[in-house]
Amino acid sequence: MTFSRLSPANLLMRCSTDFLTRMSIISFSHVAKQYAGSISALSDVSMEIAEGELVYLAGPSGAGKSTLLKLIAGIERPSAGLLLVSGQDMRKLNRTTLPYWRRMLGLILQQHRLLNDRSVLQNVMLPLLVSGASVKEATQRARVALDRVDLGNKADLAPQALSGGEQQRVSIARAIVHKPRIILADEPTANLDRDSGRRVMDMLHAFHTAGVTCIIATHDERLLQNADRVVQLERGRVIAMHDAASEVGA
Ligand code: ADP
């Protein structure tokens, strides 16, 4: 069937389906970030990230990877340009909307910041309790999240009793317990040995396969070898974008 034979209603449906399948969940348009008293952490960043994509942010220390993730997370605000995350203009996010909006994000940081005076299970329950879930519901969902990272048998231990890799997996469970649409991971394997790092990456890839948009900052070249899409940053600028099908200088 050619386009000319489509009825106006079909044409509209076809166009909107096409639009939706290509719709980006994160859109940077000439975004810049300047911290007080510092050089530009990010300059003129423009790119689109589609729903369900797995994107690596690569570049040396100081390139702006963490800053880019913090802008998406609403931890920092752009100094200039337009950043839309799931349609939300990030410069207009306010204190009232931020906590609700953040629930669609899962944050995995280099330092996992687990609370050592609580059990592994309680650590994973915490984001749910903060957002108003009952203890019963939070317990059930935290146990499911811990099973997904293969730590169901360590739920009652204190975080210090776990290895570094296991602690990072607890932080993944905590990040995914509220079923986020977007996972942001900042150097998630930085302090881990090779096997633990691979396990963490396998888990992040599994979430991507399940349809979650994943953005992972790393300076570990090994992680980039099989990546579908890599955004290369240097001194706050996107200097190249590579994807499995093409390689485009930015
Ligand atoms: P990366 O994650 O690639 O190592 P960052 O985003 O952490 O890079 O840092 C980019 C630049 O912004 C660096 O020059 C860094 O010193 C600066 N920077 C990052 N955070 C702050 C901050 N809170 N205040 C001032 N400068 C900062």
CATH number for the domain harbouring residue 175: 3.40.50.300
Residue 142 included in any domain = yes
Residue 94 in this model has a pLDDT that exceeds 60: yes
Query: Does 131 or 158 have the greater pLDDT score?
Result: 158
The CA 106 to ligand 1 mean position distance, Å, reads 21
DSSP string, 63-90: SSHHHHHHHHHTSS--SEEEEEETTEET
Lowest mean pLDDT among 29-43, 113-127, 143-157, 214-228: 214-228
Question: HSE on the CB side for 4, CA within 13 Å?
Answer: 0
Query: Residue 97: pLDDT band by 50, 70, 90 thresholds?
Result: confident
Residue 156 in this model has a pLDDT that exceeds 60: yes
Residue 9 included in any domain = no
DSSP string, 167-229: HHHHHHHHHHTT--SEEEEESTTTTS-HHHHHHHHHHHHHHHHTT-EEEEEE--HHHHTT-SE
| Residue pair 82/30 in contact by the 8 Å Cβ criterion | yes
The CA 214 to ligand 1 mean position distance, Å, reads 21
Tokens of 208: 């991507």
What is the tally of structural domains in the chain? 1
The CA 3 to ligand 1 mean position distance, Å, reads 50
Residue 11 included in any domain = no
Ligand 1 pocket residue status of 35, Cβ below 6 Å: yes
Residue-wise pLDDT tens digits, 105-151: 999 987 778 999 999 999 999 999 998 999 999 999 999 999 999 99
Range of the domain at 182: 52-74+96-243
Residue 167 included in any domain = yes
Mean predicted lDDT score pLDDT of the chain = 87
Residue 15 included in any domain = no
Q: How far is CA 78 from the centre of its chain?
A: 18
pLDDT of 222 reads 76
Residue 65 included in any domain = yes
Residue 37 included in any domain = no
Full-prediction pTM beyond 0.75?
A: yes
